[in-house]
Amino acid sequence: MMAVISAQAQIKRSDAFRAKYELKEVVVMSRHNIRSPLTSGGAAYKRVTPYEWFKWTSPSSQLSLRGGVNETAMGQFFRQWVVSEGLLPDNYRPKEEEVLFYANSRQRTFSTAKYFSAGFLPFANVEITHKLAEDKMDPVFKPQFTKMNDKYRQQVLDEIEAKYKGGPQAWMQSVQPTLTLMEQILDMAHSPAALEGDTLHFWYNDTQFKIEKDDEPRMTGGYTLANSVADALVLQCYENESMAAFGHELSTEQWRDICKVKEVYDALLFTTHAAAINIAYPLVSRIREELNRNDRKFMFLCGHDSNLASIGAALRLNYPKTENALEVHTPIGSKLVFEKWSDGNETYVAINLVYASVSQLQNRTLLSFDVPPMVRPVSIEGLTPNADGLYSLSDLDARIAEAMAEYDAIEDASTALAPAA
């Protein structure tokens, strides 16, 4: 019951609130919905378990049918919300520039945007903007370093080291009981890898980090295998829980523990502030541009969990600890929602994280005000909202400008070494 009350309070605003403010625009930064594992059927998966992995309805890395149905349901919920706020009429066919959908060119992100648009604007036949051929990585959504020098590289590595008391090794060691659980689920002792004298256990004592220009932050070593297996197991739980753990019945808490294996990996790579101001720069600047427009009513960006993580770290957003979810901060299909409100004199912003609960994802629940998704407010470190929970747009804009200035201050070694014209 508490979840419903929270969602109603954050999305379906009170009459007093609506009498005071008018919704002007919504900017959504979405993570794609349920996909098949990135390397399903790959050699690493075949070798760490004697069992046959779950057969997906979609090819490796692509959005599943369940993911598409869930995204359409989320689009329908957003339609009900914006119609109730008077931002758009029901069954609207938007004018040019009023609505924009822009997705990374991966199939799972493009399809997520397409399914959402079908629920959100069913009569509009919305075009999904994407810049590259299918399954190519758009630089706007690729969390890559576009500036690099030795001093900056060391700053990123130092922040990774300081992310957890005792360093990355200690953080990985904290999930050792879960790694042992995963070994049992997989029956790793009887896997092809074990029988060939190769891999008997997950390991992490050889972990290293690679921070290079024109590439994502990367981790090498044994923990990457644990991360990939955890990712595949959790996705199977969303898609078909009864078949997800090879006959083992796991509690919700155990599934959350498996999620933590992947979350440690993502947090180390994508949530240090030094890395985030660089790898999130294209999306941060695009969000700033959108929030300062006057002709747009709705903007939908669709990317990846790394995008939500790095945007949050760059802008010093405090993501809430989720409820009724497996992931702690940005569950599969979750949306970082910027709501732009005006009282006639000043413009304000509310920021929420919107996501479907585990049961809603598994059961393909139709969402509405009566059966809402989970909605949790996102706070901004160092900024104070007004009595209605809104931040001044000028304050948020200054925060974004600060992050962009930090990026501008990074001296790129290739530029520094270039000969004078």
Amino acid letter, residue 131:
K
Question: Are 204 and 222 a contacting pair, CB within 8 Å?
Answer: yes
> If you search the block for the tokens 């898609």, which residue do you land on?
239
Q: How many residues would you count in the chain?
A: 421
Residue 96 makes CB contacts below 8 A (sequence gap 6+) with none
Q: What b-and-e string marks burial along 370-386, b requiring 16 or more CB atoms within 10 Å of the CB?
A: eebbbbbebbbeeeebe
C-alpha dihedral over 56, 224, 148, 141, to 10 degrees? 20
Which tokens hold the place of 204? Answer: 């992490």
Q: SS3 for 253?
A: helix
> Quick one: tokens of 401?
């400008």
User: Has 305 been annotated as catalytic?
Assistant: yes
Q: Residue 50: CB partners within 8 Å, gap ≥ 6?
A: 187, 190, 191, 192
Are the C-beta atoms of residues 334 and 31 closer than 8 Å to each other?
yes
Distance CA 264, CA 266 (A): 6
Q: Report the candidate in 307, 335, 329, 319 with the shortest Cα–Cα distance to residue 379.
A: 319
418: left (phi over 0), alpha (psi -120 to 50) or beta: beta
CB 335 within 8 A of CB 28: yes
Catalytic residue flag (residue 206): no
Concatenate the DSSP letters of all residues of 120-138 into one string: HSTTT---EE--SSTT---
* Cβ contact 288:27 at 8 Å: no
- Interatomic CA distance for residues 368 and 371, integer angstroms: 5
Q: How far apart are the first and last CA of the chain?
A: 66
CA–CA separation, 213 vs 293, rounded Å? 32
CA distance 361 to 49: 27
Catalytic residue among 231, 257, 305, 329: 305
Location of structure tokens 């949530």? 271
Which one of 32, 130, 304, 329 is the catalytic residue? Answer: 32
CA distance 288 to 403: 11
Angle at 223 between CA 222 and CA 225, to 5 degrees: 75
Which residues are catalytically annotated? 32, 305
